[in-house]
Amino acid sequence: MAWQDTVEQTVTGLGFDLVELERSAGGLLRVTIDWPWQVPAPGQPAPPERFVTVEDCEKITRQLQYLLEVEGLEYRRLEVGSPGIDRPLRSEADYLRFEGHVVDLTLKAPIGATGTDVAANRKKFRGTLERAADGVQWQLVWSDAPEPKPGQRVSKKRAPAPLQAMTFSLGDIQQARLAPIVNFKGRQAPGAAVAPGDE
C-alpha cells in the first residue's frame, strides 16, 4: 500500500476527509483536511457548516507523525491544515456542496467558442457554479462587466450586464477552486441579497 493511501486511511479513520496531499522537494509534507459533507435529503435543509479547528489539526498531526515514522517516510516538516477560502473542488460531492458559490475554473482545453464574446483560446473562468438543466452536467454563469469599485454608487436604473453561461462536465476540468472572495461584513449564504449600501 502506498504511503498516500495510508495517510488517507488515517485521516478518514479519524472522521475527516482528505482534501489535498502535497509533498515538496524541500521536505514539506502538507495535508489538508475538512469535515465530511453529506448530501442533504430532498426537502431537508443543509446541515450547519463545520469548520476545522486547531485541535483537529493537532490530533491529525500526532497520528500522522507516528504513522510516518512507522512507514519510514522521510520528511522535514509536516503541516496539517484546513482548505481555506480557496478550497479545491475535486469530487462530485464538492460540486454539490458548493453549488451557488463563486468558483475559479481552469479547463483542460480551450472551449473553442467562435461567434461569441468568449475568446476561442480561453481556459480560465470565474463565475457562479450551477447544476445544468440536464441534471448531469454543470454550468458556470458569469458576467464580463467590471466589478464596481468599493464605495461607487450604482444606479438602480442601469441595465444589468448580460450573463454568459458555459456547460461542462467534471472530465473537462483541470482545476477548480472556490474563489477567494472576502466579505468583511460577515458571512452570507450564496445568492443572498446584498444590503443597500453594500454594493
- pTM of the complete model: 0.73
Instruction: Based on the fold, state whether residues 100 and 168 are members of the same structural domain.
Output: yes
**For the domain that residue 38 is a member of, what is the CATH number?**
3.30.300
Residue 29 lies in a domain: yes
Q: Label residue 116 exposed, middle or buried (CB < 10 Å: 0-12, 13-18, 19+).
A: exposed
Strands 17-23 and 28-34, bridge-based pairing: antiparallel
What pLDDT shows up at residue 199? 42
pLDDT tens for residues 1-37?
Answer: 588 888 899 999 999 999 999 988 888 999 999 998 8
Q: For position 27, what pLDDT does the model report? A: 86
Given strand 124-131, what is the order of strands in its sheet?
A: 164-168, 138-142, 124-131, 102-107, 173-178
- Rounded percentage of the chain residues whose pLDDT exceeds 90: 23
Cell numbers for 93: 460531492
Mean pLDDT computed over every residue of the chain:
81
Residue of higher predicted confidence among 117 and 76: 76
Residues spanned by the domain of 8: 3-81
Query: CA-CA distances (angstroms) from residue 44 to 28, 100, 105, 135, 136?
Result: 42, 17, 29, 19, 21
Is pLDDT of 188 > 80? no
Give the pLDDT band (50/70/90) at residue 85. confident
Instruction: Encode pLDDT of 120-156 as tens digits.
Output: 677 888 889 998 888 788 888 888 777 777 777 777 7
| The pLDDT of residue 193 | 46
On whether both 14 and 44 belong to a single domain, the answer is: yes
User: Sheet holding 77-81: strands in order across?
Assistant: 17-23, 28-34, 77-81
Say if 190 falls within a structural domain. no
- Dihedrals φ, ψ of 23, to 5°? -130, 115
| Residue 197 belongs to some domain of the structure | no
Residues 96 and 172 in one domain: yes
**Distance set, CA 82 to CA 22, 30, 35, 96, 161 (Å):** 13, 10, 9, 19, 36
The answer on pLDDT for 160 being more than 90 is: no
Question: Out of 25-29, 135-139, 172-176, 186-190, which region has the weakest mean confidence (pLDDT)?
Answer: 186-190
Cα 124 to Cα 31, 102, 115, distances in angstroms: 26, 13, 19
Q: Give residue 118's pLDDT band: very low, low, confident or very high (50, 70, 90).
A: low
Q: Is residue 198 part of a domain?
A: no
The radius of gyration computed from the CA coordinates of the chain, to the nearest angstrom, equals: 20
* Same domain for 52 and 123: no
Residue 110 sits in the same domain as residue 59: no
The domain total for the chain is: 2
Q: Are residues 98 and 77 in the same domain?
A: no
- H or E stretch including 79? strand 77-81
Q: For residue 50, is pLDDT > 90?
A: no
pLDDT score at 187: 54
Residue 131 lies in a domain: yes
- Rounded to the nearest 5°, which phi and psi values hold at 115? 75, 15
Do residues 106 and 133 share a domain?
yes
Domain contains 110 = yes
CATH code, 110: 2.30.30.100
Q: Grid cell 490530533 — which residue? A: 59
Grid cell in block for residue 17: 476527509
